[in-house]
Structure 1
Amino acid sequence: MQVEPFDWPLGIRLWPNERRRVRRLREGYDYSPIENSSDSFRFTAVSGAAKVPGVFRSFADCLPEESFLILEFYQEEHEAAPDEQPLPAVYYSPYLPTNEILETLEPYLPRLIHDGFVGFGLANNRAGMELFYSEEKVLTFFTGNHLRVTDMLARHGLHHRSDLLYPTDLGHDHLSLLCHPQGTLPQPFSALSETELDYVHFCGEVTQLLDMYPVEESLSFFLSKKEQDLIEARLQENPDLAEFAEEDFGTLLLDWDDFVSECSTAFEGDLWDYRQGLKLRDMIEYVLEGIPATLSGKVREIIASSDEKFQQNLTDRRKRLDPPGPGPAQDDRFWYRGMVRNQGAYLRRDLIRQGWFKPAT
């Protein structure tokens, strides 16, 4: 039986020897449980380029009213060493109405799909759902409702295959839309200027339109809906923290990492702002002390790099910023021992007023 040619996106070009081989890429998906999660699954799907917009919109229909966009692209030319792999920049949008994200992306969607140096996705961490279409042009889903995803994929003609091949299994090159000779691109690309076809330009426009912010790739993580529910229940136990219970806990982890990064360069806020940053870590610790050990270990692993970076930035660790308060292990909380090296003018002013720089007794 003759196999129909695969609908490759313009950003992937097979090596000539791969075109002569018998094995061919076919549409379909495979799935497996997510490591360290008892109730969530990872789906990986291979789809022709023409089906991706429909899959993306169908997944968006499964999300709550709000979600956030993920965008991954290479921001500038990178002279990499022979043994060094250049890394793309990763951007997240704030939580926005899902329909607003779709409307904003509509004129950009063909370029995001076809350019070989761009990946994008949509997620709602509180619902435990994420879709990402990578620069390798593979669809990856994270979900706690595998039946919903299998049904959605089947409606788009994508069925389970245990022998699924991926683009990474075949030798290929990545091409930007600008790599194609002028006049050879099909619609809608042929009507666009070189500037509009430049992924640095159009990805930059998307980040501005949706007020996106950079995220460290090392802080990529997934918390299932069940795990988020356990965290919510823990926060509800504390009247002072209950207002944060229904929010995305992943955002709190990102906020702590952002605070650590700001302290690593130069913290420009005052002492009150600095203490607010420490309270982020207080809230995380409160959650860690009251959730199952498996989940606690998972969250500690997520924040381990941020915690280590913050500890390395602390000086005068014999002194505490605030006296120990009530509660278990309060005195052992490293984030209150010492002060960050790179103090901005306002923080240093307030520390002088408080007497921080007096010799420790």
Structure 2
Amino acid sequence: MRELDELKQEIDRLRLLAQRDPLTGLLNRSAMEEQVNRLLEDEPAGLFVVMDVDEFRYINDQYGHPAGDMALRELARLLGDSFFAPALSGRVGGDSFAVFLPGACAGETAVNKMEHIMGGLARAGEALGLGNRLRVSAGAESAGPGDRFFDLYERADAAMRAGKSERKKALYFYEPSMKQGTDGPGTEDTESSADMKYISEQLRESHIVDGAYCQDYDTFLAIYRFLERGLSRTGIRVHLILISLTDLHGAFVRLDERELLMERLQESIRSSLRFSDIYTQYSSCQFLAMAVCAGRENMDIITDRIEKAFLVREPDRPDIRLSFSFYPLQPIPHGVPAASLFGKRPAEDESRDMCQGTENHE
């Protein structure tokens, strides 16, 4: 009985860890969605707040990813200090956060809390050497009958985007005129612009999933070549990362353990990379990832995140290890055909793709 109780406690501990964002300790996207929907089933009332960090890419590019990570942790700390249970706080994207206040909630209370958070971020920005760069934009929407997580997220996000262009208030509340794709005053909707709106709506992701962008190998290869072609014009830095799962002698792990361990590694990569990064399965024991706007100085941080996330999922496996290799994408000389870095994938891995449309289309 004692062993059974300990096993149940360990399962509960791992379940809780799987619901948390490893960087901030807040709920991750899937856990946030699940718990908000559960509360809405009990009582269709509450206030949903969405926020993201303004010019976060600039912070990463100018001050480095460690500074960006510290900024996200500081925002998470301020959310924890400002919103108490039964409120839910989560990281729902790379630099995007959400809070749900269940039941009846005065909008003035939420505004006061967001003003407090913005004041705290201003002080944290100075302390981190970011000057006045650390700011957030926030939008909110009240829940009504029939609303689910995605409904509230979509409307609060529209309010947040409307506020991002004004930046006059700490919190913007949703109004129908803020709906994405709605024309502003004085615009004339022509037939062609209506067609383009429809096309853009069809092209964009219908359901944003937290974590890095997972794709099948052929799509990953096409994106790699597209980025490589544009390097000379855009000047962005992109690093290719090969992540290998081996035993202590450098050989791939045993076949009977391979599928489970690769699933754990995939989840570790997905949760550790940024929202704008992309990865794919390369062989039966390897993943390829592309870290966008990242240089060699960022690789140790990225690999440390992946290793720590994997250790949480596989804590008692001294017989296996992760190894990493890096390659910076290089501009293609104009008019010279590029020799592809990728040949055919290892013959042993004409196996299934773990991503295969599940991560970005579910």
TM-score computed with the length of structure 2 as normaliser: 0.23
TM-score computed with the length of structure 1 as normaliser: 0.23
